[in-house]
Structure 1
Amino acid sequence: MTDAIDQDIYERTKALLEPGEIELVGMVVHTSLGGQEDLEMHELTVDLNEVIADHAGTGESYIHAGNDDTDFSSNQFQGLTVEDEEFVWECQQLLREGTFDLVFYYEAGVDQDALGAEVTALDGVRDVTLVP
């Protein structure tokens, strides 16, 4: 993990985590994937779904795509539990300076350091910035 690489993304992500119905934390996953690597970015998002759900202890989850729902924008995704469609995480995929950054937020209570270490080890991940 490093200090915030992109202060703007960090600040905007932190604003999403403001108190609401549930307490949220998040992370920005800085990838080495370029703008033409959409399939690889999708595969990484699937891997991240499994890792986040495992650390959150929510059981099996699936990915709900924003382009399938008028309540979301394109490139916005949600991880929902298979059992009862409960919130696990939400993500936006951003193309920044030629590579993708994936902004995730999820319910607090996850061991952020352990999650960050596991995410950093995934193929295609260049760095992770944790957002408390």
Structure 2
Amino acid sequence: MSDAVDDDLYQRTLALLEPGDIELVGAIVHTDLGGQEDLEMHELTVELNDVIAEHAGKGETYIYAGNDNTDFASNQFHGLTLDGDEFVWECQQLLRSGTFDLVFYYEAIADQDAIVAAIEETDHVDRVTPVP
């Protein structure tokens, strides 16, 4: 990564993917949405939920905000299946250098190349950094 801020975010995202119960990959979605565009950022998160769920083959999903769970941080969300509340993805919404970056991670069984390509075609996305 050429930018120190991006390199730091990439390294922190990579650390989140370290081996656990399931193998994960991720994507850092750099947007053109400023700090006052919360609604648009949430709408983008909903749109990316559909993209990731489609390419993960998990079926229909919903977004869980964790408002009733003290283990959740502000601006942290999960995509879960309607059938069984199975994990599909997790996301943190970060305001960095005046614009939002969305950090998603999801099971490595998902089609990473297709997810990145679809995200790159989405409105308000400047670029996507895949994370192995």
Q: Normalization by structure 2: what TM-score?
A: 0.95
C-alpha root-mean-square deviation of aligned residues, in Å?
Answer: 1.1
Q: What 5-or-longer segments of structure 2 have no aligned partner?
A: none
Match runs of 1:29-108 below 5 Å:
29-108=29-108
Conserved in 2, the CA contact under 8 Å of 1:4 and 1:129?
Answer: no
Identity of aligned residues (%): 71
Contiguous gaps of at least 5 residues in structure 1: none
> Using the alignment, how far apart are the partners of 1:74 and 1:68 within structure 2?
12
Query: Match for residue 115 of structure 2?
Result: 115
Report which stretch shifted further, 93-102 or 113-122: 113-122
* Contact in 2 for aligned 1:94/1:101 (Cα 8 Å): yes
In terms of mean alpha carbon deviation, does 106-115 or 46-55 score higher? Answer: 106-115
Q: Deviations over 1:31-79 (max 9, x none)?
A: 0000000000000000000000000000000000033421201100000
Q: Number of matched residues?
A: 130
How does the TM-score come out when normalised to structure 1? 0.95
Given residue 122 of structure 1, which amino acid in structure 2 is its aligned partner? T
| Cα separation, 2, equivalents of 1:4 and 1:19 | 26
Deviates more, 1:111-120 or 1:100-109: 111-120
Counterparts of 2:76 and 2:69 in 1: how far apart (Å)?
10
Runs of 4+ residues deviating >6 angstroms: none
